[in-house]
Amino acid sequence: QKEVEQNSGPLSVPEGAIASLNCTYSDRGSQSFFWYRQYSGKSPELIMFIYSNGDKEDGRFTAQLNKASQYVSLLIRDSQPSDSATYLCAVIASNTGKLIFGQGTTLQVKP
Amino acid sequence: SQTIHQWPATLVQPVGSPLSLECTVEGTSNPNLYWYRQAAGRGLQLLFYSVGIGQISSEVPQNLSASRPQDRQFILSSKKLLLSDSGFYLCAWRTRDRNYGYTFGSGTRLTVV
């Protein structure tokens, strides 16, 4: 079992729709969770972090965390073509403190 | 504010040639520093990390080495490049607080020919 798992996609949604990106992790002791956005040919950019169970909203982005189910998600409302990118889920390992990345989900928003 | 600089942006090197990639961080002290590689269409692979000057931990045995000669400087090197060393190399930093995520530099795209 991979430490952080994501569906590689691509996930295709029409412009204006809600995009839902999902991530599961294996380390029950993890406390900190992150979402990065990576445009093609560019470096990853941190867009959201969440530490507590529940939802955290920032503009069009909502991160959701369920520690009991070991599940993190990212919702993007009113998706725009400019949101087309690979989204990386990352979790801080409880034993080492290192950030463990998933393989990423490619999102395509079609006009 | 903190910034991270990485250069060069692109590099084409012949097989067997040496490599030196440099990364510097500004606006912070005692950062944790990381080198990642991302092969085409693949995920991020942690190569090295450092928690202080002269302290290097290697994650994957390979043809590369890293050094940290100054607090905010991290260097990735190779004596002889292989074709398999091609990829997108990313430097990242984080404060000592493990609750924070990493901030990445702009990356170096290395093509070994």
**B39, pLDDT greater than 90:** no
Q: Tell me whether A41 touches chain B (CB under 8 Å).
A: yes
Strands (E), A19-66: 19-25, 33-38, 45-50, 54-58, 61-66
pLDDT digits over A10-63, tens only? 999 999 999 999 999 999 999 999 999 999 999 999 999 999 999 999 999 999
Average model confidence (pLDDT) across chain A: 95
Q: Which of B3, B21, B102, B110 to mutate to test the interface with A (most CBs of A within 10 A)?
A: B102
**B76, pLDDT greater than 90:** yes
| CA–CA distance, A23 with A9 (Å, rounded to integer) | 12
